[in-house]
Structure 1
Amino acid sequence: MKPGLSLKVSQHLSLTPQLQQSIQLLQLSTLELAQEVEQMLNDNPFLERETEGEADAHEAIAASANESLIADEFRSENSEYQAQAASEFIAEPAPAETPQTLEWNTGGNDGPDDGDAGGLDGEWGGEGSSEWDISAAPAAKGRQADDEENDAISLAREHESLTDHLHRQALSLHLGAEDRAALSFLIESLNDDGYLEEPLAELAAGLAGGDLEEREELEQRFAIALKLLQSLEPAGVGARDLAECLQLQLRDLLQQAEDEGTTPARLSLLQLAQSICAQPMDLLARRDVRKLAGLCGAREEALREAMALIARLEPRPGRRFANVERQIVVPDVIVRPVRAGAGRVEFAVRLNPDVMPQLKVHDVYAGVLRRHRGEESHGLLQQRLQEARWFIKNIQQRFDTILRVSEAIVERQKNFFVHGELAMRPLVLRDIADALGLHESTISRVTTAKYMATPQGTFELKYFFGSGLGTETGGSASSTAVRALIKQFVDAEDPRKPLSDAKLADMLKEQGIECARRTVAKYREQLKIPTTTLRKAL
């Protein structure tokens, strides 16, 4: 080949550092944004928080701008629900010691699956509620709510763990040093549910290594310690599997019944329950009464009563000792009803001031920099000053974009805020993007990990988006509304004759919604509703 030179013209997209920072801040959650702000305050000397007096001035301006809106809410005589919802979202002035936040005039609109429904946990309630404990903005609750929240977290932190509870019981046992050490080792080997997942042989091998004699001795000591562990409270702790856990609890109940001198019928019921738990667990999960009756040699009526007793046992003995702090969601946006006249209800959308950092450029440092132009370090310091200005502007643009997207969502889902899930409309990211002149990726970033407090509860912005299902009239129904309708059908069903997925699909068709059986099954699993077999009453 002969070497040569040539010119070529092309276009490509180049992201400036300011644009990259804007995109990064837009996708951060409230907690991540607070961490980013603290990091920037530590790194950049030209950035500082506003003083208390300046923050009060901003609050006074914001309060004056919203005075008429708040007055209309308090004078609203629409309904008891409307008055209650309005009073709930009227924010009180933030206490002086709360983190200061950046205030802008945001009153205008011109600013820039998988459910486990097939196992036994569907009967026992699984792992408890899978939803977060949602709370409104702290500013809407005042100082008293903050104190209650701190007390709840303090109590959670002081809650006794499962291992501490077992170690305290082990102190009352008269054991030798080696047996006490073996019991303590097994207690520390339990998982959060109270199960001993690793076999005793593996635990002994991990301590003894290649010494076979020592391994056998350790395994024997662990076997004795396991019997002691399984005799402690809560009943069922130290089990290797679910069947053993249930059998340990039934053994404890049987011992109590014998000590109390209960009726022979009660003793027979407990013994039958033990016999059921000795059979393969999949038979109990499927509620195969006929096959269990043959294996246990009992009548089906007595078998159903014993299965109902088993269903009231605790499949996770360590559940109540779990030290899980409540995850409190602080909303980025607050929606509250206002009276629009003629009996109509409109919804005002505003940013939550508690999540908006109050930042400004350090006046003293900026003034010194202006007076020392031309010095050697002036260029570097000027760059840091520009970074501070960009950071403040990008944060403002972040909240302006969140507000614009939230207003567009509220406008299109107004029926949801009045009537609930059944009134949800189909909505996709492109609808909001086209309305605001933004890209779908921007809408996706805005709606991720951002929350909205509404009269119906607090929801992630993504919650308001959903695909549509065809209707007989040629329109479409939101998948969220269809799921709510399925849940309504299941809640009203006869427990002795639960509705199948095919029947639910037929009922939806009667409502004018075309929904296949597979789609119904998918929505049912997303709602964590068990199958027909598991929902059927014993």
Structure 2
Amino acid sequence: MKPSLVLKMGQQLTMTPQLQQAIRLLQLSTLDLQQEIQEALDSNPMLERQEEGEDFDNADPLADNVELASTPAQEIPTVDTSYDEPATNMESLEQGEWNESIPNELPVDTAWEDVYQTSASSLPSNDDDDWDFTSRTSTGESLQSHLLWQLNLVPMSDTDKLIAVTLIDCINNQGYLEESIDEIVASFDPELDIEADEVEAVLHRLQHFEPAGVAARDLRECLLLQLRQLPADTEWLEQAKRLAGDYLELLASRDYSQLMRRMKLKEEELRDVIALIQSLNPRPGSQIEASEPEYVVPDVIVRKHNDRWLVELNQEAMPRLRVNPQYAGFVRRADSSADNTFMRNQLQEARWFIKSLQSRNETLMKVATQIVEHQRGFLEYGDEAMKPLVLHDIAEAVGMHESTISRVTTQKFMHTPRGIYELKYFFSSHVSTSEGGECSSTAIRAIIKKLVAAENAKKPLSDSKIAGLLEAQGIQVARRTVAKYRESLGIAPSSERKRLV
């Protein structure tokens, strides 16, 4: 075959940098978007944040036909920094405010506090014994640091303190000792000649630390440690110690008849003993949290006004940006210098960034509006009125691809009168009903939760019984599907839900 030139015409979709930026901003959560905006503000001098209370510039910063060089540099208004002398007599100010005049010169080695009164009266002095810098500035405290702090208050020999530090390092976040005594003894240097009895003695001292039940080797020991620290006159204390020490397996299997027979207790008495044990904390280390709480910032706010559901963006979570008109006025169209080229590129990036943010907000509003339109029943009556909804339904309504809807609904939250929900929460599969209709899986979960809440605690409903009750309501669902929905709700099986009433 001879090589030849062929001219063809065709169309193809190209991912431009602007489109890539818009897609990336679209899938960011609110917190990630705020961080992205802050990075853009720090790196691009053409971008500025619209502060609250300022009049927003109505001129379109995205228009290409805006004359950037219309404001010469010499005509930029300057800020008048002069001010009039206040008419207030400084000598008549109240006590606690300045009543001195500022001298022109100060003596050498003069401190500010020697001449002027400080307004930061809330700051503590160095002589304040109650001031604890660590407790007021630290973000959190771990369980290990809390135990080490208590260890420093206990008189111990150097060897015992070494053993105690090693034991504290072996305690997990739940408060349990993960390593056995033999493994801890083997970890020490043989020259120290540390025996298992010494480690056991130090462990017993650590088990008296706060929180109660810490450094236990299993659940039985954890409960017994907490029971031993209760006052001696606590009602049913001895029976609770016996139950936790000898019959914990029967309590875990909900075999109440065996417990009553072996402990020789009546049903009401056994109920009180179990209530005392249930008041204990099986994970004592969880009382001390070192992590900071994570807050959810809603992207969309839904409220009802005059019998209509209104959808609006959370303006506090969406900072308003604009192109700095002063810096934009420095750009010259005919200038090809390096400085002017840099400013022109920064201006173009600022325009693209603002346009991508506007596109993100518009897409988010379209999707949220359609979700509210489909799920009016949920907003009015709750989970049981949730309708089946898939990504294709919203994509068809707004004229977008399903992948775009998936990006919009990921890590985006809606604030409703019923609470804050992720947008994906409103999407669910459907189950057929006996009348030929459809029921949302979210509504089925709500019904299952309602049935379990109203069941007899002595005879909890099995999955087969729940499936039968759902079928009586016209919802055709299999037993294994009920088990899957029950597990997703965090509801234990019927054998573990049995209680004494």
| TM-score, with structure 2 as normaliser | 0.76
**Equivalent in 305, 310, 331 of residue 298 of structure 2:** 331
- The answer as to 2:322 corresponding to 1:368 is no
Partner residue of 1:50?
50
**Equivalent in 318, 337, 343 of residue 285 of structure 2:** 318
Inter-partner Cα distance in structure 1 for 2:2 and 2:49: 60
Partner residue of 1:249?
226
Q: 1:250 to 1:266 in 2, by over 3 A?
A: closer
Partner residue of 1:34?
34
Does the 8 Å CA contact 2:140/2:291 hold for their aligned counterparts?
no
Partner residue of 1:233?
210
**Equivalent in 227, 234, 238 of residue 267 of structure 1:** 238
Structure 2 residues without counterparts, runs of 5 or longer: 59-134
Aligned ranges 1:410-429 → 2 under 5 Å: 410-429=372-391
| TM-score, with structure 1 as normaliser | 0.71
Partner residue of 1:500?
462
SS of 1:528 mapped into structure 2: coil
Q: Which amino acid aligns with 2:323?
A: V
Higher relative contact order (CA 8 A, sep 6+): 1
Structure 1 residues without counterparts, runs of 5 or longer: 59-153, 340-344
Does the 8 Å CA contact 1:483/1:527 hold for their aligned counterparts?
yes
Q: 1:398 to 1:299 in 2, by over 3 A?
A: same
Q: 1:367 to 1:217 in 2, by over 3 A?
A: same
Aligned ranges 1:344-363 → 2 under 5 Å: 345-363=307-325
Partner residue of 1:111?
none
Inter-partner Cα distance in structure 2 for 1:15 and 1:323: 44
Partner residue of 2:15?
15
Further displaced range: 458-467 or 238-247: 238-247
Does the 8 Å CA contact 1:289/1:300 hold for their aligned counterparts?
no
Further displaced range: 301-310 or 507-516: 301-310
Larger Rg: 2
The Cα shift of 1:398 comes to 0.3
The Cα shift of 1:320 comes to 2.0
Q: Deviations over 1:327-379 (max 9, x none)?
A: 3222111111011xxxxx21011111111122112222222222662335544
- The answer as to 2:482 corresponding to 1:520 is yes
Partner residue of 1:537?
499
Partner residue of 1:137?
none
Amino-acid identity (%): 48
The Cα shift of 1:186 comes to 2.4
Partner residue of 2:397?
435
Q: Deviations over 1:79-135 (max 9, x none)?
A: xxxxxxxxxxxxxxxxxxxxxxxxxxxxxxxxxxxxxxxxxxxxxxxxxxxxxxxxx
SS of 1:318 mapped into structure 2: helix
SS of 1:334 mapped into structure 2: strand
Aligned ranges 1:179-190 → 2 under 5 Å: 179-190=160-171
Inter-partner Cα distance in structure 1 for 2:195 and 2:12: 68
Inter-partner Cα distance in structure 2 for 1:226 and 1:28: 49
The Cα shift of 1:306 comes to 4.9
- The answer as to 2:200 corresponding to 1:223 is yes
Does the 8 Å CA contact 2:223/2:244 hold for their aligned counterparts?
no
**Equivalent in 132, 152, 156 of residue 175 of structure 1:** 156
Q: 1:4 to 1:248 in 2, by over 3 A?
A: farther
Q: 1:418 to 1:52 in 2, by over 3 A?
A: closer
Q: Which amino acid aligns with 2:426?
A: F
Inter-partner Cα distance in structure 1 for 2:239 and 2:258: 20
Further displaced range: 171-180 or 372-381: 372-381
Q: Which amino acid aligns with 1:435?
A: A
Q: 1:495 to 1:197 in 2, by over 3 A?
A: same
The Cα shift of 1:200 comes to 4.0
Q: 1:463 to 1:272 in 2, by over 3 A?
A: closer
Q: Which amino acid aligns with 2:247?
A: I
SS of 2:329 mapped into structure 1: helix
The Cα shift of 1:191 comes to 2.1
- The answer as to 2:456 corresponding to 1:479 is no
Partner residue of 1:464?
426
Q: Which amino acid aligns with 1:509?
A: E
The Cα shift of 1:387 comes to 1.2
Aligned length: 422
Does the 8 Å CA contact 1:336/1:348 hold for their aligned counterparts?
yes
> Please, what is the CA RMSD of the aligned residues?
3.1
Q: 1:168 to 1:43 in 2, by over 3 A?
A: closer
Q: 1:382 to 1:219 in 2, by over 3 A?
A: farther
Inter-partner Cα distance in structure 1 for 2:167 and 2:258: 37
Q: Which amino acid aligns with 1:520?
A: V
Does the 8 Å CA contact 1:250/1:274 hold for their aligned counterparts?
no
Q: 1:304 to 1:418 in 2, by over 3 A?
A: closer
Q: Which amino acid aligns with 1:225?
A: V
Inter-partner Cα distance in structure 2 for 1:398 and 1:218: 66
Does the 8 Å CA contact 1:331/1:453 hold for their aligned counterparts?
yes
**Equivalent in 276, 283, 298 of residue 247 of structure 2:** 276
Does the 8 Å CA contact 1:402/1:446 hold for their aligned counterparts?
yes
